[in-house]
Amino acid sequence: MNSVLEITLPVFGIGLLGYLATRLDWFSAQAGEGLARFVFDFAIPALLLRTFANANLPDDMPLDLIGSYYLPVAGFYLLGMVIARQFFGRPFSGQVITGFSFSYGNAVLLGLPLVLLILGDKGSLPYFILISMHALSLFTVTTVLLESSRHRDASPLSMIYKVFLSLLKNPILLGIVGGITLNQLGLPLTGVLDTTAGYLQNAVAACSLFALGASMTKYRIAGQLSQSITVVLAKNIAFPLCVYYSCSQVFTLSAHWTFIAVLMAAQPTGVNAYIFAERYSTAQALATTTVFLSTAFSLFSIPVLLYLYQSGVF
């Protein structure tokens, strides 16, 4: 248990420091947004570029790892939409936000520092493989569904163009694609470029956790409590259990890969749920309440998961 606390207390402690500093006006909200932009636009893309460029990538795509995680993702996305419609009477756009909240976790700002601290760069490669499809798949589906809800008469070509532009502007995806391209061309990062990317990589853990804590000052309990609790139970408990079953019983992955997939599944609902809700003016109260409650619940659920891993449950 002590080793679990040695991992989780610094992680959540840095996040708490960012939260308190912003709440007490020792660190401005604008500075927090700037720090988050630095993490998303520079530090994490540099980490992913360097990791994929220099990694020993498998010859074949690990379809068992991808299937064990993304089949439950698809199932929970649909489940969230059905529950939002049948039990909470949400319109289509609200159903989409609910489905996204059921299946999209804070895999970058919180999950990435955690997995790096626990497993290191080399041991985290399966996590990076899962991340490479995380935003690409869920952002694409969510954008298409919300755009189709807003512009029912828009042509499919126009929809594809908007989604393509949205993905093209995502620095994390650019870092992944750039790293894989260099790897396949046999051009690993070396010298000054590798050192520069390494400096940026070293900033990821502390900066991302502090930025996450600072950003949490924007989220609160703002209504839609019963639906938000439903989302939290699904995202923080049911979804990781489903991924565990998928990894261990359906695809029979190794304990190491199973833990990585479950750890990613256990991340709280990502702040992008609120960003989508704001951008499309739908289900804002649900999104902000869900992000707040899910993140708060993860303070307890993630240490339990780490304890189970260290106890040999996986």
Containing structural domain, residue 239:
2-310
Instruction: Indicate the pTM of the whole model.
Output: 0.86
Question: Three-state SS for 269?
Answer: strand
Q: In terms of C-beta distances under 8 Å and separation of at least 24 residues, what long-range contacts does 248-255 make, across chains too?
A: 248/314, 250/68, 251/64, 251/65, 251/67, 251/68, 253/64, 253/65, 253/68, 255/314
- Residue 53 one-letter amino acid: A
| Positions in the chain whose pLDDT score sits under 70 | 1-2, 151-155, 159, 163, 166-167, 223
Here the tokens at position 222 are: 């703002």
Read off the CATH number of the domain in which 191 is found. 1.20.1530.20
137-156 tens-digit pLDDT: 888 888 888 877 776 666 67
Q: Alpha-carbon Rg of the chain, whole angstroms? A: 19
Domain count, the chain: 1
The predicted pLDDT at position 249 comes to 94
- Residue 134 CA to residue 148 CA, distance in Å, equals 21
Burial tier of 133 (Cβ tally within 10 Å: 0-12, 13-18, 19+) = middle
Burial tier of 117 (Cβ tally within 10 Å: 0-12, 13-18, 19+) = middle
Q: Give, as one character, the DSSP assignment of residue 222.
A: -
* Per-residue b or e along 37-66, where b marks 16 or more CB atoms closer than 10 Å to that residue's CB: ebbbebbbbbbbbbbbbbbebeeeebeebb
163-207 tens-digit pLDDT: 677 667 778 888 888 998 998 899 888 899 999 999 998 998 899
Handedness of CA 280, 286, 292, 295 (dihedral sign): negative
Question: Three-state SS for 128?
Answer: helix
Please report the beta strands in 89-241, taking only residues with DSSP state E, as ranges in sequence order: none
The predicted pLDDT at position 98 comes to 96
Question: Three-state SS for 7?
Answer: helix
The predicted pLDDT at position 153 comes to 63
Contacting residues for 25 by C-beta, under 8 A, at least 6 apart: none
